[in-house]
Amino acid sequence: MDENQEALEVQFQQLQEALANSEMKRFREIFLELHIYEQGQFYQAIEENQRHIMYAYLSPKEMADMFDVIEEDNEHMTEYLAEMRPRYAADMLAEMYTDNAVDLLNTLDKKQIAKYLSIMPAESASEIRELLHYEDDTAGAIMTTEYVSIVANQTVRSAMYVLKNEALAAETIYYIYVVDQENRLVGVISLRDLIVNDDDVMILDIMSERVISVHVGDDQEDVAQTFRDYDFLALPVTDYDDHLLGIVTVDDIIDVIDDEAASDYSGLAGVNVEEVSENPVKSAGRRLPWLITLLFLGMATASLISHYEELVSEASILAVFISLITGTAGNAGTQSLAVAVRRLAMNDDKQNSFLRTVISEVLTGLVTGAITGLTIFAIVSIWKGNPILGFVIGMAMMCAITVANLAGSLIPMLMDRLGFDPAVASGPFITTLSDLTSVLIYFNIASLFMSHFIGS
């Protein structure tokens, strides 16, 4: 344990003692010296009765600063709100950054949202109501209305005056957006530009007119892609008439990336990876639908094997290699699926035609299949002393890998074109589908060379 961690634990212990001994002044001195993230860690680690004392010791503004940091990281946020007096909770929500307050309110039912909005100050309630109307997972849903804007026909001196007056309430001041009289976005200027230019220079002369912005209805994944491409700390959000509505900041995009990664991984695994803290009954309830669906698909594979039961009884050696072929093909399909989902997330498919992607995946499948097939051909030929059997296994392996590779790529592409999340084409689904096609390919090739290994 490093010195910083040890010192933090000592401070946490002192805070616990201050709460137990009702030492408000001592508690505030120690607590407010901590970094906001560390404050959040302490708050989430203590019991409810201790948190009630904290509500008496800290102002709604001090609590809001902490909730701005932890609101995305804890599934018990609604429970924390319920612990507070309604007035205290409403005041805290009003002091939070608007986008964070909206995220927190979206976890509540409509009656609870209405209760808090009716209590908090009218101006804050109005800003929150406006953002609550935007669809989930869009730029409008994750933007904040706390930004600094100026007009073009003013000097650097007057712009700095505006900035100083609004900086405390703004979520970021690294970019200052320039608007016209109708609040249309016409330019952007950085804090550095304001600092290095003379006070009498006009904003119009130093602002950049080429502003990268996102539309309020854009998907949050597309917004995250824009951040990645341009390395911005914030992006303005506009409507169809270029009116400036808000900004999206990089901290919100980090949360988006984390959420989307978890969603994609959940799809690939066929399970909700966020269920780690759920009780076993809820966890089983989430997993069972996929498992039952895959069970029926697996029954199709079992039925197909049963269809070739006579072939297997005549050449029992074929049964030895069923799991080898289906397993390898399933692994190849899962690899292809992962690459395809990543390609779609990176928007690389927009630069490549559908046909080119199909050809690329077929060639990739043929190359990997041929090398794997030649390897297993050599092994089986030497092991069983039967080159024909080796050829059958190798050829079936090559064809199964090629088909699985193609399916793993095409299925998410087709789902994306139909407007569905491509990650829903999960790894277990692709694997089970590969089992079905692999068995069909394997036994059909084997039946053509039946006479060469009967009795092996």
**Could you state, in chain order, the average pLDDT of each consecutive group of 10 residues for the chain (456 residues)?**
80 94 94 92 93 95 90 73 93 91 88 92 90 88 92 94 91 93 94 94 94 92 88 92 93 78 55 55 69 75 81 82 89 80 62 68 88 93 88 92 87 75 65 85 88 59
Identify the CA nearest to 410 among candidates 442, 433, 438: 433
Contact yes or no for 186/203 (Cβ under 8 A): no
For residue 248, the model assigns a pLDDT of: 93
State the residue for tokens 């793993």.
408
For residue 456, the model assigns a pLDDT of: 47
* CA distance linking residue 44 with residue 58, whole number of Å: 15
* CA distance linking residue 360 with residue 411, whole number of Å: 15
**DSSP characters over 79-103:** HHHHHS-HHHHHHHHHHS-HHHHHH
Contact yes or no for 417/425 (Cβ under 8 A): no
Output the six-digit token pair for 45. Answer: 């680690």
**Residue 342 C-alpha from the chain's centroid:** 12
* CA distance linking residue 356 with residue 138, whole number of Å: 31
Contact yes or no for 277/75 (Cβ under 8 A): yes
Long-range CB contact pairs, 233-241, < 8 A, 24+? 233/172, 233/174, 233/175, 234/147, 234/171, 234/172, 234/174, 234/175, 236/147, 236/175, 236/177, 236/185, 236/188, 236/211, 237/139, 237/140, 237/143, 237/213, 238/185, 238/213, 238/214, 239/215, 240/215, 241/184
Measured in residues, the chain has a length of 456
Q: Three-state DSSP class for 57?
A: helix
Between the two ends of the chain, the Cα-to-Cα distance in Å is 62
Contact yes or no for 299/373 (Cβ under 8 A): no
Q: Please state which architecture CATH assigns to domain 149-258.
A: Roll (3.10)
* CA distance linking residue 362 with residue 375, whole number of Å: 20
For residue 365, the model assigns a pLDDT of: 86
* Element of type H or E holding 253: helix 250-269
Residues 327, 331, 333: CA angle, nearest 5 degrees: 115
Output the six-digit token pair for 373. Answer: 């097939």
For residue 99, the model assigns a pLDDT of: 86
**DSSP characters over 91-142:** HHHHHS-HHHHHHHHTTS-HHHHHHHHHHS-HHHHHHHHHHHTSPTTBHHHH
List beta partners, residue 356: none
Q: For the whole model, what pTM was predicted? A: 0.61
Where in the chain are the domains?
A: 3-137, 149-258, 273-452
**DSSP characters over 160-189:** HHHHHHHTTT-S--SEEEEE-TT-BEEEEE
149-151 vs 234-238, strand pairing mode: unpaired
Pick the CATH number of 273-452 from 1.10.600.10, 2.102.10.10, 3.40.190.10, 1.10.357.20: 1.10.357.20
**DSSP characters over 320-381:** HTHHHHHHHHHHHHHHHHHHHHHHHHTTGGGTS-HHHHHHHHHHHHHHHHHHHHHHHHHHHH
State the residue for tokens 């006579």.
310
Contact yes or no for 376/397 (Cβ under 8 A): yes
Q: Does the fold of domain 273-452 match that of domain 149-258?
A: no
Identify the CA nearest to 97 among candidates 247, 254, 237: 247
Output the six-digit token pair for 201. Answer: 């220079």
| CATH H-level superfamily of 3-137 | MgtE N-terminal domain-like (1.25.60.10)
State the residue for tokens 């050696």.
317
List beta partners, residue 248: 235
Question: 111 Cβ partners below 8 Å, 6+ apart?
Answer: none
Question: Virtual CA dihedral for 221, 358, 375, 327, nearest 10 degrees?
Answer: 50
